[in-house]
Structure 1
């Protein structure tokens, strides 16, 4: 029996796994605070629902990862304070994020989260950690598809210039 076999939870974490999880929840906590702010700024009902879904997902992921880090004696990254609830009309027009901007930032964060999950999976020796981040990756891919659909339906998706003139090859 090898040193990395048996009960996964009894195996030591290596420094890459620790750093990956610690960094992941550090960024997730920042995203959580940003999404709370975005909820105050959005006027679109569907975008608000997506933001609320994202904040619930972050809460769950953060709690799960924090439990693992605590069980292994790792200090947790700091959490930013909860953001207060504000009414959209109370935020001056020039100081508001608009819905397409919020949606674009969400899309970028989802994309970065997918890369982070893949990187953590790739460096894991503990299968339970790799499977956990595989689940997070799948969740992000699903919410990314929702975000893409929302961006298309609302007309917020701005594609780069489309390459429609393909040169003709002569032989």
Structure 2
């Protein structure tokens, strides 16, 4: 029996899996800091709830990733310092992100995250690690849907030019 047979948890990680686990952990930690900063800029209460959901999503990813890295003796990437709470009124208008900008940023990051998670899954030969990334992917799909729905409800969605069929005469 080879080293890649049997229980995936008994199989070694390959270098690509180590790298993608480490990079995903660092990214999740960075996104928690970024979203915490955006929380200071948000005025809309529904948007604040969506940002909080994004923070919790990234924290859950971070915990799973760090646990996997620890199990295999890999050094955990550092986390940025926790962001302080700020009063939105203390941020000058020209330096403040607007709610539509924040919403667009959340949607963009969800899309980029989906691409990165798909790539991570494709690199894995260990089923348990691929499944973990698939769980993160499913959660991010759900989050992306929530972000799109909120953008539409609030009128923040910037719609690209629509292709309309020419009228038939």
TM-score band, normalised by shorter chain: over 0.9
Instruction: Work out whether 1:12 is the aligned partner of 2:2.
Output: no
User: What secondary structure does 1:12 align onto?
Assistant: coil
Gaps of 5+ in 2: none
**1:81 counterpart residue number:** 81
Gaps of 5+ in 1: none
**CA-based RMSD:** 1.4
Task: Return the TM-score normalized by structure 1.
Answer: 0.93
**2:108 counterpart residue number:** 108
Measure the CA separation in 2 of the matches of 1:154 and 1:22: 37
User: What secondary structure does 1:139 align onto?
Assistant: helix
**1:26 counterpart residue number:** 26
Give deviations 1:11-69, integer Å, cap 9, x for gaps.
10111111111111111111111100111100011110011111111111101110111
Number of residue pairs matched by the alignment = 168
User: What secondary structure does 1:130 align onto?
Assistant: helix
Measure the CA separation in 2 of the matches of 1:60 and 1:145: 19
Q: Which runs of 4+ in 1 moved over 3 A?
A: 165-168
Between 68-77 and 143-152, report the one with greater CA deviation: 68-77
Task: Return the TM-score normalized by structure 2.
Answer: 0.94
Q: CA deviation at 1:166?
A: 5.2
Measure the CA separation in 2 of the matches of 1:150 and 1:2: 50
Measure the CA separation in 2 of the matches of 1:140 and 1:23: 17
Q: Where in structure 2 are the equivalents of 1:33-48 lying within 5 Å?
A: 33-48=33-48
Q: CA deviation at 1:117?
A: 0.9
Measure the CA separation in 2 of the matches of 1:93 and 1:140: 31
User: What secondary structure does 1:101 align onto?
Assistant: helix
Give deviations 1:51-93, integer Å, cap 9, x for gaps.
1111111111101110111111111222111000011111111
Q: CA deviation at 1:3?
A: 2.4
Q: CA deviation at 1:165?
A: 4.3
